[in-house]
Amino acid sequence: MEFITEEDKSNLEAKLAELKANRPVLSKRIAEARALGDLKENAEYHAARDDQGLEEAEIRRLEERLKTAQVTSDIEIPEDMVFLGAVVRLKDMDDKTDDLYKLVGEASGKFDSDEIEVTASSPMGESLMKARVGETVKVDLPRGTKRFEIMEIL
């Protein structure tokens, strides 16, 4: 079972609605390309069919994800435990600097916020999940192992 935040759920539902709304557009593209004639050598037709297949696969993936995911606001989590949606202040044990990290189900792709997004399935996210304030977590990164102390949950 995958845990997602309420915000992640809203984003997934919006993406799903957008893809479903695009179905008629793709059908129209296919019909217009089909009307051009010979389907064997009709690149527009094949491209439209490929796009339709990709979007339908994404619709199925999103629907399955929404069906099986557990929204974190529906479960009780101790206040001192890091869980999905939490923003934590971590202190790097090597250089003693601290940064804010946000544990998310799916990265938003926004890099302008004050906190660094970490997905729950990443090495950092797996180390942080269910850790508590005051603990030191070890993260196996591609460049080696790093240790962070959990200073606080905001």
How many C-beta neighbours within 10 Å does residue 101 have?
21
In this structure, are 126 and 142 located in the same domain? Answer: yes
Radius of gyration, alpha carbons of the chain: 22
- In this predicted model, what pLDDT tens digit does every residue of 21-50 receive, in sequence order? 999 999 999 999 888 877 778 888 999 999
Q: What integer best gives the mean pLDDT of the chain? A: 87
Supply the range of the domain harboring residue 60: 3-70
72 vs 41, more confident = 41
Number of domains in the chain: 2
In this structure, are 10 and 39 located in the same domain? Answer: yes
pLDDT band at residue 141 under the 50/70/90 scheme: confident
Q: Lowest-pLDDT range, 88-97, 105-114, 116-125?
A: 105-114
In this structure, are 62 and 121 located in the same domain? Answer: no
Write the CB contacts of 104 (distance below 8 Å, at least 6 apart in sequence).
Answer: 5, 8, 84, 85, 117, 118, 119, 120
Q: Lowest-pLDDT range, 35-39, 61-65, 74-78, 124-128?
A: 74-78
What are the Cα distances from residue 40, in Å, to 29, 34, 100?
Answer: 17, 10, 55
Specify the length of the chain in residues: 154
Q: Is 2 exposed, middle or buried (0-12, 13-18, 19+ CB in 10 A)?
A: middle
Answer with the one of 39, 70, 101 that is the final residue of a domain. 70
In this structure, are 81 and 39 located in the same domain? Answer: no
Q: Lowest-pLDDT range, 9-18, 24-33, 60-69, 81-90?
A: 81-90
- CATH number (domain holding residue 83): 3.10.50.30
